């Protein structure tokens, strides 16, 4: 089911509020003030703040599923596939930098089981996708086999996360694409057989 224009506006506004004020600043009252509609109008579109965050996460889940499917059909070596995934993720963060505050804010998910389940599914899907890429690369003899696929996947995912988080904390004062390319080149050295 697609989102209405108003739901999309509420989601975008919520992301901006989380980015500027943190999760504690995300209230139905603040959303209604920012958008200029009543609080009951917000509740006509979403039952709760949690439902809004779930809708945000659902967009990421769709992207994770898209990348997983794309990797199944993508011809190329493991590092090329990981490079493609990197570029798509960095593209998303560059297009909407405030989304970093949602995806990489653990405090949002700690106390809400439904959010924790959703973010766990997204992380697991990314992990499985990267592990499959690495496993295939190991089978094709272009990824080192002396390090297990889980550890290599963790290195890849952790490196990307830290790079994006550092970019966000430094108020986007360096070229994310350029640093992403450097990181990918380093990962290629680490992963190559």
Between CA 44 and CA 2 the distance in angstroms is 16
Q: How far is CA 4 from CA 46, 135, 164, in A?
A: 11, 40, 30
**Predicted structure pTM score:** 0.85
- Could you list the pLDDT tens digit for every one of the 193 residues in the chain? 578 999 999 999 999 998 888 888 899 999 999 999 999 999 999 999 999 999 988 988 888 898 889 888 888 899 999 999 989 999 989 988 888 888 887 777 777 888 888 888 988 999 999 999 999 999 999 999 999 999 999 999 999 999 999 999 999 999 999 999 999 999 999 999 8
| Fold of the 56-191 domain | Tetracycline Repressor; domain 2 (1.10.357)
Q: Where are the domains of the chain?
A: 56-191
């Amino acid at each position: 089911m697609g989102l209405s224009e108003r739901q999309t506006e509420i989601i975008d506004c919520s992301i901006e509020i989380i980015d500027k004020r943190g999760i504690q600043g995300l209230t139905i009252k603040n959303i209604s003030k920012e958008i200029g509609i009543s609080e009951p109008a917000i509740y006509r579109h979403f039952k709760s703040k949690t439902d809004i965050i779930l809708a945000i996460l659902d967009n990421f889940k769709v992207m994770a599923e898209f990348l997983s499917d794309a990797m199944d059909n993508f011809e190329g070596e493991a590092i090329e596939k990981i490079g493609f995934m990197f570029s798509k993720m960095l593209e998303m963060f560059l297009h909407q930098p405030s989304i970093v505050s949602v995806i990489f804010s653990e405090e949002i998910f700690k106390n809400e089981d439904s959010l924790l389940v959703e973010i766990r599914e997204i992380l697991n899907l990314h992990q499985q996708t990267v592990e499959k890429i690495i496993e295939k690369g190991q089978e094709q003899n272009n990824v080192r086999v002396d390090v297990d696929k889980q550890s290599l996947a963790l290195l890849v995912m952790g490196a990307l996360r830290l790079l994006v988080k550092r970019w966000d904390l430094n108020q986007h004062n360096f070229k994310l694409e350029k640093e992403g390319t450097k990181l990918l080149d380093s990962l290629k050295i680490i992963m190559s057989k």
